[in-house]
């Protein structure tokens, strides 16, 4: 009976190890973005581009003297 208990304990430990490896694998997979997050990210990107273009336009006008 003790041998059966030891074997079951070994199986339980092996399953726990596999469970831990599966959790680590799932944590490394990126989660899909929500639509709100994607929209906010796009808005920030567009605002950054417009800000850079504005700075270039200011420098261009300053150099041109206008």
pLDDT in tens, 9-57: 888 888 998 888 889 988 888 888 899 999 999 999 999 999 999 999 9
The model carries a pTM of 0.49
Q: Domain check: are 66 and 37 in the same one?
A: yes
Q: Domain check: are 9 and 23 in the same one?
A: yes
Q: Domain check: are 65 and 47 in the same one?
A: yes
Q: Domain check: are 37 and 59 in the same one?
A: yes
Q: Domain check: are 27 and 8 in the same one?
A: yes
Q: Domain check: are 36 and 54 in the same one?
A: yes
Position 53 scores a pLDDT of 93
Position 7 scores a pLDDT of 85
Containing domain of residue 48, as a range?
32-66
Cα 9 to chain center, whole Å? 37
Position 44 scores a pLDDT of 95
* DSSP 8-state secondary structure symbol assigned to residue 32: P
Question: Dihedral sign, CA of 58, 62, 63, 66?
Answer: positive
């Amino acid at each position: 009976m003790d041998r059966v208990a030891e074997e079951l304990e070994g199986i339980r430990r092996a399953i726990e190890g596999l469970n831990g490896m599966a959790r680590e694998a799932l944590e490394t997979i990126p989660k899909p973005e929500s639509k709100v997050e994607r929209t906010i990210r796009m808005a920030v990107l567009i605002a950054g581009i417009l800000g850079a273009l504005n700075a270039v336009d200011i420098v261009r006008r300053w150099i041109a003297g206008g």
